[in-house]
Amino acid sequence: MGNAPLTLTQYDIEEVQEHCNKLFNQQEIVSLYQRFCQLDRTAKGFISSDEFISVPEFAMNPLAQRLLKMVDGLNFKDFAAFLSAFSAKASIE
């Protein structure tokens, strides 16, 4: 999953589910992938900090500059893992 493929295979979905401790179901992963592809405007397989900051809600966050250091260069699997921390199903830890 280095470069973003056009579609996710069942194997890709299961791999991401495992990487995210099964916090996302298959449909959620497909939705996250669609959003990832929208953000990855140049289809290079990762999202740059410039692409992240283009999201208005992210740009308005008072912690945006700190978060940018964490998210710059995330591939899809790591993008999903990063967002899993914000899931209602995630543990407090």
CATH of the domain at 48: 1.10.238.10
Which range of residues forms the domain containing residue 44?
10-84
Q: How far apart are the first and last CA of the chain?
A: 27
Give the CA count within 13 Å in the CB-facing half-sphere of 84: 21
Residue 6's identity, in one-letter code, is: L
Looking at the domain assignment, is residue 28 inside a domain? yes
Binned average pLDDT, 10 residues per bin, the chain of 93 residues: 68 94 94 93 90 86 87 91 86 76
Rounded to whole angstroms, what are the CA distances from 22 to 3, 16, 63? 23, 8, 27
Looking at the domain assignment, is residue 37 inside a domain? yes
Residue 22's identity, in one-letter code, is: K
Total of domains in the chain: 1
Q: pTM to 2 decimals? A: 0.82
DSSP letter at 46? S
